[in-house]
Amino acid sequence: MNYSSNPNSPPFLFSDKRWGFILALLSMGVILIVIGNQFRLIRHIEFNASNYYQRVGNWLLSADCSSKTNTFLTVCAEDGSLIPIEKVADSDDIGHTLIVNALAMTSKKKITTYTLAKINLIFTGFGLSVLVWSMYLNGLFFISFLLPSLLFLLGINQVTPDKGGCFIGAYALVIASLFLIRFIRRSDNKGNIFLFLLSCLLNGIAFLMRQPIGLIGILSSCWLLSIHTNFTRKHIFRNLSLSALMMGGMILMNYSPYPFFILRNKLFNLSETGFTFVHGISHNLYIGLGSEPNPWGIEWDDKNAIETVRKKYPNVTVSSHQYFRIIFNEYMSIWRSSSLEVARYYFKKTKRVAESANISSTELLFFALIAFFSTIMFLQFKDKRLSPPHCDSISAIAISIFLFLLQGLLAHPSREFLYPSGLALILFYLLLARVSYDLKRKTAFITLLCMIILFILSQRWIRPFSAWVGYFNFYSDFARELGGLLLIILLLKHGREEWVKLKKIEPRRLGKPNHGSCLHGSTLN
């Protein structure tokens, strides 16, 4: 059963691909308007919002060195010698550094925080534009228009000229990569190799700009590729080999900073520093035990981890491979000695993570259930050419949301690290609302629309305008808890009914499935 080709299925708003093209252009217009408005604002005020991020000073130092010496990923010492950037800013994201290096070498103008603000805005606009295009390919015409409109006009994770806005752009590239992979695995187009390389490139760019977000994209992409693998006996070796090759290419994006460092060393005769070029996960695991009050005396501070290692190994180089092995062993020793305390600590921390990400407890349970059910539904019926609508996309986006929350749980649960999760949540609810509409589940559709409205009203920029802030917060949070519970009940009820329906249908043996993209009409699968 192809849901969208069912003659009894109601047509969706603006489902024709010509409307889709118009909506995509309107979406680009919305993005340009908001980006342009931010450019206007930062021209007329002294912009210092980037200064609170401690890495900004290192980026500017590297830019100054580039303008003088035509080098990149370096800082100039007082005697004129070149210092590798990783010795000054160890385990840093190098995306901004590479961009300001290129600008400094080509324009010879002084790079300032105002320049960084423009870079963040342009990158955010680029990421959201690519996301709109990827949704257009998958036939999500109306959602591709509604998503940026809600993000900007209603204040959900508004575009800002600081690093938070840049993180939105990085995560938009991650989601765009997921939609491209979905389009590739469900279509027979000759341009699939190009689109796959493009999806890898998008994750690589996201990784350079913000490594944790890029890593979330790589893992979510591998998840989507794995559930699309065909395990039937016919051509099983070819299918497994193709999936393994694609996942291997995606995993290589985790090493995207390395070629730039190798090229720099070759061009400018710099020696290896022994530093790792990616974020130290084990380092964040250790100091993550100090983001809340704890019995181990750990604090959320890089110096705390460094002092712990130096007590036993005073000569170890910070951010070296040896350093990360030592700090990981320290983390595991805490687990072995007081596992119950650590488990209790993470359990308490979960509540703060949910609050920072603006998610209720019942919504968390609903996300877990929908991720499990959509994955099982897709795996069960994909080989029969039955197309449960967008189960694969919903599963992958739910996985990315959980990875964001896991990042906050294991590291620091502040909104700074969970900032782009609002983009994922609003897209997740929009996709589910579209699927509910296709399946004629009116109660679920209305409930999901109400959850979107409640999510908008719960944003921090709206709450201060309420005359009864305390009452507003209480009833808004209570309504979201109740809405999440209702969604769980509807999922269990309607999910079972759809499963029974699909079980009764014979698989289609002839013809190609409708892929739910703009190249195959206006359907959504």
| Per-residue model confidence as pLDDT tens digits over 374-405 | 888 887 776 555 556 688 888 889 898 888 88
Residues facing 2 on adjacent strands: 387
Q: Is 156 exposed, middle or buried (0-12, 13-18, 19+ CB in 10 A)?
A: buried
- Report residue 432 CA to chain centroid gap: 18
pTM for the model stands at 0.86
| Mean of pLDDT over the chain | 79
Placement of tokens 């309607």 in the chain: 494
Q: Quick one: average pLDDT of 173-199?
A: 82
3-class secondary-structure state, position 272 = coil
Q: Which two tokens stand for residue 489?
A: 């009940």
Q: Quick one: average pLDDT of 463-470?
A: 46
374 close to 398: Cβ distance less than 8 angstroms: yes
Longest Cα–Cα distance in the chain: 78
User: Distance between CA atoms of 455 and 464, rounded to whole angstroms?
Assistant: 15
- 458 vs 297, residue with greater confidence: 297
Of the pLDDT bands very low, low, confident and very high (cuts 50, 70, 90), residue 255 is confident
Query: How confident is the model over 202-224, as pLDDT tens digits?
Result: 999 999 998 889 999 999 999 99
- The residue type found at 325 is R
Q: Quick one: average pLDDT of 351-377?
A: 85
